[in-house]
């Protein structure tokens, strides 16, 4: 219940000329939930590649399947890509590879 006698005041400037703002609601999912809901990269109809958190997932799974530790540089590149910092082209990552 609202108290109609209460007059809010701006904490910064002391003004009583205030307006109510309605903000959006954010729903955060865990990485596990994202992976469950986006399915497999092998399913052409899935939304797998629409979520940047799936970047590198295939490579991570392949290293795990082979029982090998993923190199730290690769882990860093995957994490950076998930955060929006995409690496250069593949030819820049592999010296000596020429474009076809």
Per-residue pLDDT reduced to its tens digit, 56-96:
888 888 899 999 998 998 888 888 887 877 766 654 655 55
CA distances from 68 to 54, 64, 93 (A): 20, 6, 21
Give the pLDDT confidence score for residue 5 in this predicted structure: 66
Answer whether residue 100 shows pLDDT above 60.
no
Q: Going along 5-88, which residue ranges are E strands?
A: none
The answer to whether residue 80 is domain-embedded is yes
Distance, in Å, from the CA atom of 58 to the CA atom of 44, rounded to the nearest integer, reads 15
Give the pLDDT confidence score for residue 67 in this predicted structure: 93
Two tokens, residue 44: 């052409």
The answer to whether residue 3 is domain-embedded is no
The answer to whether residue 25 is domain-embedded is no
Distance, in Å, from the CA atom of 56 to the CA atom of 38, rounded to the nearest integer, reads 14
The answer to whether residue 40 is domain-embedded is no
Domain count, the chain: 1
The answer to whether residue 19 is domain-embedded is no
The answer to whether residue 84 is domain-embedded is yes
Q: What is the extent of the structural domain holding 71? A: 52-91
Q: In what helix (H) or strand (E) does residue 30 lie, and over which residues does it extend? A: none
CA distances from 14 to 2, 11, 51, 81 (A): 21, 6, 44, 44
The answer to whether residue 70 is domain-embedded is yes
The answer to whether residue 56 is domain-embedded is yes
């Amino acid at each position: 219940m609202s108290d109609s006698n209460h007059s809010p005041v701006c904490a910064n400037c002391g003004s009583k000329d205030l307006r109510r703002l309605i903000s959006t609601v954010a729903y955060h999912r865990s990485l596990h939930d994202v992976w469950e809901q986006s399915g497999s990269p092998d399913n052409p109809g899935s939304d797998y590649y629409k979520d940047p958190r799936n970047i590198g997932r295939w490579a991570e799974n392949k290293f795990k399947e082979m029982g090998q530790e993923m190199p730290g540089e690769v882990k860093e590149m995957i994490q950076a890509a998930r955060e929006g910092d995409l690496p250069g082209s593949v030819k820049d990552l592999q010296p000596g590879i020429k474009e076809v």
